[in-house]
């Protein structure tokens, strides 16, 4: 240990700073006389300087004390400390110049110090004071840093965030890590050095891992290119290299973050795609200053819609849901953000027409974003009557009230499970689509449907399930090795809903580009690796068999539908087949069957309305024969 752990007394630091300043003054005189001078010259200069030296020490002491340069912990010197030192040194030099002029004019015709000495002394003092603090800081960090290296680290990103990551790791005395280098996608900076650490192009990753024994990679780019990030992450996972990322700049304090905030990368970070480009001007022109109702506002998609819509400053945002506790949490979140959002929280059930009628007549919404629904396939397979009551009757109530109250646009949020449905939940959403689309043209209200697949991190989705199973030691349950799903993040889905909703003219079903489908078992394996566990050794994957109504593969369009492009590259318009006028009558008959609680009768009527509804792995398969 080269330095004591206890803090150095403040008076000692002041004395050291004054001695360093005197040394700087001596160096300034040496430089002025080119390190040599005749004895008589030295005597003349000393005669002048002797009257100034006490003033020099007094001024320095007062200025250093006023600027509090002795207050900072030297071993933790920050940029703020450096600013204070530079300011104090400069201010001292200005005082010397003023006092020297006064001495010259009113005392003995001599300046306190020659002008060249003042300049050199300022530079030398700054260098000595700053250098001494850096030296102490380096000695402290090196003497306290663990000598046992556990990880050899690469930092992905050689920008400001990458530089801050390097400093954070080096400053953490408990970190058992050695930084091998930076990697970056920018070829122009390859080969350069950043604070003494070499920058390599990201294509050199494999060679660096092989030659340098890299064991950890930290992603230090705030908005990395998703394709490049995923390639690097895939390589790291395949080679058992730990992957971490730095926190968002929003969580930095005074431009810094701690090593503890560097966290494991999440599966969401790998499945997310490039940022979506929205027609902000169009969305803003439609939503700003409007009264907007969001149903299912406490759910994953509903709350995501609320957050997105809030950015466009509606005159009032109506949050409707029957889930009291999640709604309370959302209310507290919106209040704490203090963004002057005008909103109302309404606890209510879309199945209760009288309650919904009161909501519409009280607030007169201009836009309705309908996200309320039952969505869990196995639960709805066991409870068809509840699926009908919420997903069909609830939607019918909202559609009818939108027509009666001259709502401008009604945007329904549907699912890929409505395409060629194999389960009650998907069929109930398809029936809701049919009713909404069939109501278009009955008045000025424009009915628009948006359809997408699984949403990362939504309530009850597979990723939170896998996370809980991994945290509890497993096993991780997968229904079938062949199952694939499309995934999208909550912000992506909500942004595309807004874009589609504002571009729609009524009657359309918009389908989103969900990217490539993902095998669920591969997803489970990645999440296990990202958790630092080894499949087969630390945790197992268990195949449980398809659940009632579950598909192996999801679709976004049925084979009777064609897609048309729109102005947005990630949104397509489904060219729908015409539904018969009998459908509305059959839907009303279906709702009336609720009171009978006859599951077979209810599902039979659903199949009559949606002929492509073929049950899979379900007790209702007998109805298809």
Assigned domain for 462 exists: no
Q: Which pLDDT score is estimated for 34?
A: 64
Stretch 505-526: mean pLDDT, rounded? Answer: 85
Same domain, 323 and 442: yes
Same domain, 254 and 376: no
Same domain, 237 and 305: no
pLDDT band at residue 596, thresholds of 50, 70 and 90?
A: confident
Same domain, 19 and 125: yes
Stretch 380-390: mean pLDDT, rounded? Answer: 94
Assigned domain for 182 exists: yes
Of 162-166, 276-280, 290-294, 464-468, the range with the highest mean pLDDT is 290-294
Q: Which pLDDT score is estimated for 237?
A: 85
Stretch 146-161: mean pLDDT, rounded? Answer: 78
Same domain, 261 and 354: no
Better-predicted residue by pLDDT, 346 or 460: 346
Stretch 263-270: mean pLDDT, rounded? Answer: 77
Tell me the percentage of the chain whose pLDDT exceeds 70: 86
Q: Which pLDDT score is estimated for 89?
A: 84
Q: Which range is least confidently modeled, 426-440, 496-510, 541-555?
A: 541-555
Boundary-marking domain end, from 144, 176, 193:
144
Same domain, 139 and 155: no
Tell me the percentage of the chain whose pLDDT exceeds 90: 29
Catalytic residue among 375, 417, 526, 551: 417
Does position 7 have pLDDT exceeding 80, yes or no? Answer: no
Same domain, 179 and 47: no
Does position 8 have pLDDT exceeding 70, yes or no? Answer: no
Give the span between the Cα atoms of 542 and 402, in whole angstroms: 47
Assigned domain for 90 exists: yes
DSSP H helical segments within 174-225, as ranges? 205-212
Same domain, 178 and 294: no
Encoding tokens for residue 449? Answer: 């449907």
User: Measuring CA to CA, how many Å separate 618 from each of 373, 382, 422, 520?
Assistant: 21, 10, 9, 21
Q: Which pLDDT score is estimated for 136?
A: 72
Same domain, 350 and 439: yes
Of 313-327, 452-466, 484-498, 509-523, the range with the highest mean pLDDT is 313-327
Contact 616, 549 (CB under 8 A): yes
Same domain, 170 and 133: no
Q: Which pLDDT score is estimated for 396?
A: 96
Assigned domain for 544 exists: no
CATH of the domain at 174: 3.40.50.720
Stretch 28-32: mean pLDDT, rounded? Answer: 77
Q: Which pLDDT score is estimated for 163?
A: 87
Assigned domain for 109 exists: yes
Stretch 276-300: mean pLDDT, rounded? Answer: 89
Contact 369, 408 (CB under 8 A): no
pLDDT band at residue 125, thresholds of 50, 70 and 90?
A: confident
pLDDT band at residue 372, thresholds of 50, 70 and 90?
A: very high
DSSP H helical segments within 33-114, as ranges? 39-49, 53-67, 79-106
HEC states along 528-546?
HHHCCCCECCCECEEECCC
Does position 146 have pLDDT exceeding 90, yes or no? Answer: no
Same domain, 83 and 172: no
Largest interatomic CA distance in the chain: 120
Pairing of strands 177-184, 151-156: parallel
Element (H, E) at 346: strand 343-347
Same domain, 442 and 585: yes
Concerning whether 442 is annotated as a catalytic residue, the answer is: no
Stretch 237-250: mean pLDDT, rounded? Answer: 82
pLDDT band at residue 608, thresholds of 50, 70 and 90?
A: very high
Give the span between the Cα atoms of 509 and 537, in whole angstroms: 47
Assigned domain for 210 exists: yes
Q: Which pLDDT score is estimated for 1?
A: 44
Peptide bond into 475 cis (omega under 30): yes
Does position 233 have pLDDT exceeding 90, yes or no? Answer: no
Does position 327 have pLDDT exceeding 90, yes or no? Answer: yes
Does position 557 have pLDDT exceeding 80, yes or no? Answer: no
Q: Which residues pair with 535 in a beta bridge?
A: 539
Boundary-marking domain end, from 144, 160, 179:
144
Does position 521 have pLDDT exceeding 80, yes or no? Answer: yes
Give pLDDT tens digits for 458-480.
766 788 888 889 888 889 999 88
Of 97-106, 251-260, 557-566, the range with the highest mean pLDDT is 97-106
Assigned domain for 580 exists: yes
Domain range for residue 301? 280-454+489-514+555-620
Average pLDDT, the chain: 83
Of 336-340, 362-366, 563-567, the range with the highest mean pLDDT is 362-366
> What is the pTM for the complete model shown?
0.69
Does position 419 have pLDDT exceeding 60, yes or no? Answer: yes
Assigned domain for 481 exists: no
Give pLDDT tens digits for 169-211.
877 766 678 888 899 988 888 888 888 888 999 888 888 888 8
Q: Give which of 538, 413, 454, 483 is closest to 267, Cα–Cα.
A: 454
Give pLDDT tens digits for 394-417.
999 999 999 999 999 999 999 888
Boundary-marking domain end, from 207, 241, 265:
265
Q: How many domains does the chain have?
A: 3
Angular region, 242: left φ>0, alpha ψ -120 to 50, beta rest: beta
Coil, strand, or helix at residue 504? coil
Chain centre to alpha carbon of residue 405: 39
Stretch 565-589: mean pLDDT, rounded? Answer: 77
């Amino acid at each position: 240990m080269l330095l004591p752990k206890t803090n150095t007394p403040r008076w000692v630091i002041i004395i050291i700073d004054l001695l360093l300043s005197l040394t700087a003054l001596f160096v300034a005189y040496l430089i002025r006389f080119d390190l040599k001078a005749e004895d008589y010259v030295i005597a003349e200069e000393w005669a002048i300087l002797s009257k100034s030296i006490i003033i020099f020490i007094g001024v320095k002491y007062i200025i250093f004390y006023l600027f509090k340069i002795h207050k900072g912990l030297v071993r933790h010197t920050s940029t703020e400390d450096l600013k204070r030192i530079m300011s104090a040194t400069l201010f001292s030099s200005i005082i010397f110049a003023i006092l020297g002029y006064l001495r010259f004019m009113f005392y003995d015709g001599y300046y306190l110090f020659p002008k060249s000495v003042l300049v050199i002394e300022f530079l030398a003092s700054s260098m000595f004071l700053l250098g001494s603090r850096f030296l102490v800081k380096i000695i402290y960090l090196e003497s306290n840093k663990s000598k046992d290296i556990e990880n050899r680290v690469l930092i992905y990103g050689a920008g400001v965030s990458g530089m801050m990551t390097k400093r954070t790791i080096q400053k953490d005395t408990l970190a058992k890590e050695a930084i091998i280098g930076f990697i970056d996608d920018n070829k122009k900076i390859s080969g350069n050095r950043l604070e003494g650490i070499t920058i390599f192009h990201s294509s050199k990753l494999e060679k660096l891992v092989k030659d340098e024994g890299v064991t950890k990679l930290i992603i230090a780019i705030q908005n990395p290119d998703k394709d490049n990030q995923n390639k690097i992450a895939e390589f790291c996972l395949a080679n058992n290299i730990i992957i971490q990322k730095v926190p968002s700049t929003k969580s930095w304090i005074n431009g810094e973050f701690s090593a503890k905030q560097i966290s494991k990368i999440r599966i969401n970070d790998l499945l997310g795609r490039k940022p979506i480009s929205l027609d902000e001007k169009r969305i803003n022109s439609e939503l700003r200053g409007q009264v907007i109702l969001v149903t299912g506002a406490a759910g994953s998609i509903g709350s995501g819609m609320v957050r997105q819509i809030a950015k466009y400053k509606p005159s009032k945002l109506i949050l409707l849901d029957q889930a009291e506790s999640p709604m309370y949490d959302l209310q507290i979140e919106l209040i704490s953000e203090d963004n002057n959002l005008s909103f109302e929280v309404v606890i209510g059930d879309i199945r209760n027409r009288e309650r919904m009628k009161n909501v519409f007549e009280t607030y007169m919404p201009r836009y309705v974003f309908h996200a309320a629904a039952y969505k869990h396939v196995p639960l709805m397979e066991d409870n068809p009557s509840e699926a009908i009551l919420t997903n069909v009757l609830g939607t019918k109530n909202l559609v009818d009230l939108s027509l009666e109250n001259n709502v401008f646009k009604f945007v329904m949020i549907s699912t890929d499970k409505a395409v060629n449905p194999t389960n009650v939940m998907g069929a109930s959403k398809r029936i809701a689509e049919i009713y909404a689309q069939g109501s278009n043209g009955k008045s000025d209200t424009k009915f628009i449907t948006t359809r997408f697949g699984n949403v990362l991190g939504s309530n009850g989705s597979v990723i939170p399930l896998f996370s809980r199973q991994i945290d509890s030691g497993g096993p991780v349950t997968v229904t079938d090795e062949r199952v694939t799903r499309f995934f999208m993040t909550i912000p992506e889905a909500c942004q595309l809903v807004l874009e589609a909703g504002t571009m729609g003219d009524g009657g359309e079903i918009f389908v989103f580009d969900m990217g490539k489908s993902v095998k669920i078992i591969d997803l489970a394996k990645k999440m296990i690796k990202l958790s630092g566990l080894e499949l087969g050794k630390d945790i197992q994957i268990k195949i449980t068999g398809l659940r009632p109504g579950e598909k192996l593969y999801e679709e976004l369009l049925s084979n009777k539908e064609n897609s048309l492009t729109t102005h947005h590259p990630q949104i397509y318009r489904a060219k729908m087949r015409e539904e018969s006028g009998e459908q509305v009558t059959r839907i009303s008959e279906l709702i009336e069957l609720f009171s009978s609680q006859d599951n077979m009768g209810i599902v039979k009527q659903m199949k009559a309305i949606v002929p492509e509804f073929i049950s899979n792995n379900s007790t209702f398969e007998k109805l298809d024969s």
